Structure 1
Amino acid sequence: MTYSQPSLATATAPVTLSFERVPLQLYPTADLASKAVAQEIADLIVSHQRTGDWTVLGLATGSSPKKVYAELIRLHREEGLSFRRVITFNLDEYYPIQPDALQSYHRFMHEHLFDHVDISPENIHIPTGTLPADDLKAYCADYEQKIQDVGGLDFQLLGIGRNGHIGFNEPGSHQQSTTRLITLDFLTRADAAAEFGGLAQVPKRAITMGIRTILAAKRIVLLAWGEHKATILQRAVEGPVSELLPASYLQTHPNATIIVDEAGASELTIQKTPWLFDAVTWTPTLIKKAVTQLALSLNKPVLKLTNSDYNEHGLSDLLAQHGRAYDINILVFNWLQHTITGWPGGKPNADDTNRPERSQPARKRVLLFSPHPDDDIISMGGTFQRLVDQGHEVHVAYQTSGNIAVADDEALRFLEFVVDFKQQFGIEATAIDTLFSEAKRALETKKASEQDPDAVRKVKGLIRRGEAKNTCRFVGIPTENAHFLSLPFYETGRIEKNPIGADDIRLIADLIARIRPHQLYAAGDLADPHGTHKVCLDGIFAALQQLKHETYMQDCWVWLYRGAWAEWGIHEIEMAVPMSPEQVLQKRYGIFKHQSQKDGVVFQGNDAREFWQRAEDRNRDTAALYNQLGLADYAAMEAFVRYHFL
């Protein structure tokens, strides 16, 4: 696969998919989709204003609608969109929670929309998380009545949870449910753990608008961005209606639409097997995808597939266009085999016709971008080591400080070391004492889930920086080849980051211009389009666009790796670097250099495995897929896709 290959959705318009049980529009990116949704809301508001009517909006929180709200703010500021005749009702709120808490949806909505438009405060309705428990039943009934009194919801904006919830209607929610207090599902709480500083701090309950209330809206739009939503979305729009998957209730609504980006749509049947629905153009990428899926589904090596296998599984058109199964099998087998290389920087003095990388120059300048201070070793540690061992000039660029991923007790341990060190050796007080004293005091008094002050973030950043340097020493690159960019977008002190900005892009572009790499590695992990990896990748792509006209960039090849949780699809991989058992163990030891990320890492999520375990499982599974398809049996493999920016 070529990463820049044209997609099903064009750069300017969505594709309407018609085989799902809910109408679905596919956009190339979440940005374009968000602008389209915001424009629909704006058109509705303007239309109602012309007739003197109010517009009643049901609003969602979370990462999915952020860019919708950002576009609405832009339309208000630059194009005069007014919210004076808009009434809003939010879907949900944690219970109990203070409205000014960092995680409160009251705070979220004001920061992301209400404080930036001309809506009247009395027209904003968000469930209250501070009521006495005895008052909740009456409060929820009143919330329902207020919606009815204004004529119901004209437009309801939704996201979808990884367990299929809409609002906080968790699995098991009845179709006739109304606004109520609900107990949160474990997966919902696990997904929120990072925001709250740990699972124990996440409220166990929430107030949510009910399914019946949502389905009564005249228009419903559900947003689904990123690969982590793909599986649950596929079940919601292709599976049966079930109370165990509340989003599936949208199948019963006469005016509901799913708005999805390419990553979110990746598990839909029409995306995975488009040849089953319509005639397709059989590109090499699509042939590789179809044949590998067929082989894996039948548990056969590629070379053992038969004409009958193709005909019985919807691939007769492929046979008709490209000949016998025998010929197609050999073609795909060779494609797979040519992705495997033990020379990720290219093999000197060798025929590189069928190798993924060039043989020249024999010694390459390599620039490896790592979003966090450990993504380099976790995601491509074996390749990192191989590049160094094979004599290439390797540089690592750590894009962010990673400071929020350090636990408070880990930071306190380092602070106490500094104090004890000075006392042990009788070192006089210096200016640095102010920083450490301030940080130590803040850590000892900070409440759970409170934002770290600047001094604490600096200490935590130093911890991550030291671990990254230790990894570089372990792999074998000089200290001066480790570059700490500390991109400004990251330094908010919160889980939520700023958008990528001009200063971030400039820092990235300046480093690329200074190194002039022949190879550039970047994290292509798109599981969460609002996550740090995606923002860092956007910054690299923007920098590449700025620099692509420079002569030295003609020799720069860009390879994308994935994170600790997922791997490229077998049909997408363009370079697979095998690892021996000894190399797997060496990579593990490199990951161990990041001690602050072991044994109870801050952002563990719902996956109890440590990062080294996740990485090894992923690398082992990739090797097993190659072997299952009939290729050599390696202990592990790291995989890459090439990005074409010129």
Structure 2
Amino acid sequence: MLSNYPLSDVEKAFQAESGITSINSKIPYLTVDNFPKLGLITACRFLEWAAENPQGVISLPTGKTPEYFIKWSQYLLENWESKRGKEIREKYNLGKTKKPVLSELTFVQIDEFYPISSKQNNSFFHYVNKFYLEGFGLSKEKAILINSDEIPLAGGKHYKEIFPDLKVDLSLRFRDPLNPLEKMQQESIYLIDQWCAEYEQRIRDLGGIGFFLGGIGPDGHIAFNTRGSHLFSPTRLTETNFETQAVAAGDLGGIEVSANRLVITIGLETITYNKEGVAIIIAAGEAKAQIVKDSLESNLSNVYPATALQKLKNGRFYLTKGAAVRLTDSVDNYYKAGEWTWEKTERSVIELCKKLGKYGHRLKLEDLKNDKYTSLIPNLSEDTVNQVMQSTVEKINKGTSKEKNEVILHTGPHHDDISLGILPHITNQLQENTNEAHFSVLTSGFTAVTNTFVIDTLLHTKKLLDEGQIQMVHYDDFFEIGYKLKTDKDVYHYLTKVAAEDTEGRMRGLCHRVVRALVEIFEVKNKQKLRETINDVISILRNSYDGEKNPSKIQKLKGMIREFEEELVWAHFGVQVKNVHHLRLGFYTGDIFTEQPDKKRDVEPIVDMFRRVNPTKISLTLDPEGSGPDTHYKVLQATAEAVRQWGEEKDLSELRIIGYRNVWFKFEPHEANVIVPVSLGDMSVMEDSFANCYLSQVNASFPSYSHNGKFSTVAKRVWVSQLNDIQLLLGKNYFYLHDTAKVRSSHGLIFFKDMNVEEFLAHARELEKSIEGML
């Protein structure tokens, strides 16, 4: 019961708002509706604690997770006595709290990559200085920070001299060095270890951390205490695992960098040393749901580092409902609260099949009666499972029905999202000549292109120019108008070389498009200026550190490379360049915290596209709440507002909205109302088009934490796992003995949600609530 835990006044207010009256996890937790609200509860609890502990020791997180914590903390401090500020404080039991003064708090940096220059904007040292020491007005003198530039090394040398390739070989702790450089490296590693011990002692001398706030990684890591970390681990220099490297790739400019970078992190014992301390883990989104369940419902275990919070009476998890969705409490509440729906019947029966490992037709009525969830089904009978099976068959029938005379606009937040989400469904649509298809990626996507890829491409472009193999630059009108023409020819040339297995010819096709982009972006007027521009861009990128925010023109160049890749994918099916729309919404800036979509800047371009295309169907990513790639969430907000505005000037009663998901989230069978069979041929088309067209992504510099490789492989695995769920319900013979070849050839399934506008906007209104009152 929650009453067994010492809730603070703020926690009591949020607990009452959540409606949760009891919990059955090893660590207490509180839930809120959405990502921004997660920031509010955390900010309120922090300010409550800071008011009570004005000279306390705090440790706060870096990255994107604490965005709304930082914004709400600053807002409340700046508006403590304003009408809005007072309303929030009264609502969450801060009404009688004196405004906290943060300047006497001691800040402890949680972790840092090693080695990394403290001057780099993507170092955590820079982050904590910008957002916490300066942003919160904390004491720089008292702060205990991790500055790679100042950690003593052998001979008083800088890490660039000791570790010239920025790689630290920890095996030198235990083996003899092979040369003088390794001897210095070994001595330096021992010095770093000593520095870490002293860092730990400084924290303990203060009594430990009084208020700790952290996120949780996909493997369950807290700070950089990855899966397998000792539950009594101190501050240390250590390696990371693949999941952590994949998450860090965005900060460091690619997995190539993060895989070779060590970290300095406080340990699990550092976090729990102060037994009176408050330690809070925040998690948002269904992508975190399984690791949250494992961390909250498992005994103390080094497999789940967050279980260390069981040592603290004030250890907590603050979760969005999405992150809490797999907790036993949440599942119980799902089935027992409110009216019983058909979705609940579908979910409980399919889950029972998985739980018992039985095909649907082999489930007995007794099995259903003995299960705590299926036993709740109203009018439970011998026919219940057959009804669920028939309902699922109807979803497959919808997914195999022929669409005709449709104008379909497929949209995605990033390049490759559409392909990874529903490519096999799109190929079905494009095989019907009466359908007209359009594709639109709503952001530039430049952050997914590494500096190395651009440098290599530009060097190859220079080589081809020198060899006279980019002939278009010699045409008289090329630098005035010619660079804008024949873009379809570029695409056709490229794909012809793909078919011919001509790698060099394919590269030449990319370089052609890069030349067009350079002329447009940099307003190049002649061949000499083109060469100078190429050299300038190469120089800028070579002098940038990995992960550094690029100048806007180079961002645009990277974005246009991604746009070319998207055009190539749809040209596989004869879609012309004019039907691939690049919106480049303005909220996408490459900053650590991107802006909320703006109704004028970000919504009007989408409405204009709707007017031009006049679609009868619109597809979009339907990810839950604001988490995971937050671009997905923000694009969905902007698209929903655009549909709403378009509906004010046009009757949209016949418009259908197709909500899909891809590698970041997936629908459960009961959530989807359309199921599309996927053949091995469909999978091959997706894998081949991804490998041949998304050149900047083939080496997966920013991979999914679930797979060290191409996103197309992750998507394929999702489709296969979805087939496994449905096969367990319907039986394998339903598929391989089916009347139609499309179903017989199924080796994967796609789930999506087909909605009318009213249903979609009802879903969108829930999203809208999540940013009400935000800054």
Contact 1:522 1:537 survives alignment (8 Å): yes
The letter of the residue matching 1:637 is L
Q: Which residue of 1 aligns with 2:750?
A: 638
**Secondary structure of 1:26's match?**
strand
The letter of the residue matching 1:603 is F
Residue among 326, 331, 350 paired with 1:292? 350
Contact 1:157 1:220 survives alignment (8 Å): yes
**Secondary structure of 1:491's match?**
coil
**Secondary structure of 2:572's match?**
helix
Matched, 1:265 2:324: yes
Residue among 246, 263, 267 paired with 1:210? 267
Shift in CA distance, 183/529, structure 1 to aligned 2, threshold 3 Å:
closer
Alignment of 1:420-439 (within 5 A): 420-423=463-466, 424=468, 425=471, 427=474, 429=527, 432-439=530-537
Which deviates the most, 124-133 or 302-311?
Answer: 124-133
Flag the structure with larger Rg: 2
Identity across matched positions, percent: 23
Shift in CA distance, 280/107, structure 1 to aligned 2, threshold 3 Å:
same
**Secondary structure of 1:79's match?**
coil
Alignment of 1:352-367 (within 5 A): 363-367=405-409
Contact 1:565 1:618 survives alignment (8 Å): no
Q: Which residue of 1 aligns with 2:294?
A: 235
**Secondary structure of 2:725's match?**
helix
Residue among 286, 292, 314 paired with 1:255? 314
Deviations 1:93-142 (A, max 9, x none): 22322212233111122333333333332243323333024554554455
Q: Which residue of 1 aligns with 2:497?
A: none
Matched, 1:533 2:632: yes
**Matches of 1:159 and 1:229, distance apart in 2:** 10
Q: CA deviation at 1:446?
A: 4.2
Q: CA deviation at 1:530?
A: 4.5
Q: Which residue of 2 aligns with 1:179?
A: 235
Contact 1:394 1:477 survives alignment (8 Å): yes
- Give the root-mean-square deviation of aligned CA atoms: 3.1
Q: Which residue of 2 aligns with 1:222?
A: 281
Q: CA deviation at 1:525?
A: 3.9
Matched, 1:14 2:2: no
Gaps of 5+ in 1: 1-9, 349-361
**Matches of 2:132 and 2:616, distance apart in 1:** 44
Deviations 1:145-195 (A, max 9, x none): 544555543321121222222222334444444333333344323321232
Shift in CA distance, 443/178, structure 1 to aligned 2, threshold 3 Å:
closer
**Matches of 2:550 and 2:614, distance apart in 1:** 37
Deviations 1:218-266 (A, max 9, x none): 2221101223322222111111111332211112321222111122223
Residue among 714, 723, 738 paired with 1:614? 714
Residue among 172, 176, 189 paired with 2:245? 189
Contact 1:464 1:594 survives alignment (8 Å): no
Residue among 108, 117, 121 paired with 1:89? 108
User: What TM-score do you get using the length of structure 2 for normalisation?
Assistant: 0.72
**Secondary structure of 1:160's match?**
coil
Shift in CA distance, 55/376, structure 1 to aligned 2, threshold 3 Å:
same
Contact 1:273 1:290 survives alignment (8 Å): no
Matched, 1:28 2:33: yes
Residue among 517, 522, 525 paired with 2:620? 522
User: What TM-score do you get using the length of structure 1 for normalisation?
Assistant: 0.86
Alignment of 1:178-577 (within 5 A): 178-202=234-258, 204-215=261-272, 216=274, 217-272=276-331, 274=333, 281-315=339-373, 317-318=375-376, 321-324=378-381, 326-341=382-397, 363-390=405-432, 391-423=434-466, 424=468, 425=471, 427=474, 429=527, 432-492=530-590, 497-502=594-599, 503-526=601-624, 528-564=627-663, 566-577=665-676
**Matches of 1:223 and 1:267, distance apart in 2:** 16
**Matches of 1:386 and 1:11, distance apart in 2:** 48
Contact 1:14 1:26 survives alignment (8 Å): yes
Shift in CA distance, 448/151, structure 1 to aligned 2, threshold 3 Å:
closer
The letter of the residue matching 1:635 is H
Shift in CA distance, 93/580, structure 1 to aligned 2, threshold 3 Å:
closer
Deviations 1:304-341 (A, max 9, x none): 3211111222246335x3231x2211221122112124
**Matches of 1:591 and 1:227, distance apart in 2:** 26
**Matches of 1:581 and 1:178, distance apart in 2:** 50
Contact 2:566 2:694 survives alignment (8 Å): no
The letter of the residue matching 1:207 is I
Q: Which residue of 1 aligns with 2:727?
A: 627
**Matches of 2:560 and 2:139, distance apart in 1:** 45
**Matches of 1:485 and 1:496, distance apart in 2:** 20
Q: How many residues align structurally?
A: 615
Shift in CA distance, 458/578, structure 1 to aligned 2, threshold 3 Å:
same
Contact 2:256 2:701 survives alignment (8 Å): no
Which deviates the most, 20-29 or 201-210?
Answer: 201-210
Shift in CA distance, 413/190, structure 1 to aligned 2, threshold 3 Å:
closer
Shift in CA distance, 598/32, structure 1 to aligned 2, threshold 3 Å:
closer
Contact 2:132 2:138 survives alignment (8 Å): no
Shift in CA distance, 429/172, structure 1 to aligned 2, threshold 3 Å:
closer
**Secondary structure of 2:677's match?**
strand
Q: Which residue of 2 aligns with 1:6?
A: none
Deviations 1:525-582 (A, max 9, x none): 4594344323322332343454554443333332221123553112212111223444
Contact 1:194 1:605 survives alignment (8 Å): no
Q: CA deviation at 1:387?
A: 2.2
Shift in CA distance, 65/305, structure 1 to aligned 2, threshold 3 Å:
same
Q: Which residue of 1 aligns with 2:225?
A: 169
**Matches of 1:168 and 1:85, distance apart in 2:** 27
**Matches of 2:50 and 2:105, distance apart in 1:** 7
**Secondary structure of 1:366's match?**
strand
Alignment of 1:571-590 (within 5 A): 571-590=670-689
Contact 1:180 1:210 survives alignment (8 Å): yes
Matched, 1:126 2:145: yes
The letter of the residue matching 1:639 is F
Deviations 1:250-308 (A, max 9, x none): 123212221111222233223345578x5764211111110111122223332332111
Matched, 1:73 2:115: no
**Matches of 2:128 and 2:214, distance apart in 1:** 14
Contact 1:58 1:88 survives alignment (8 Å): yes
Gaps of 5+ in 2: 1-13, 82-98, 153-187, 475-525, 736-745, 763-775
Q: Which residue of 2 aligns with 1:594?
A: 693
Deviations 1:327-365 (A, max 9, x none): 211221122112124667x757xxxxxxxxxxxxx5233
Contact 1:516 1:552 survives alignment (8 Å): no
**Matches of 2:267 and 2:670, distance apart in 1:** 42
**Matches of 2:560 and 2:135, distance apart in 1:** 36
Shift in CA distance, 462/176, structure 1 to aligned 2, threshold 3 Å:
closer
**Matches of 1:612 and 1:210, distance apart in 2:** 36
The letter of the residue matching 1:206 is V
**Secondary structure of 1:635's match?**
strand
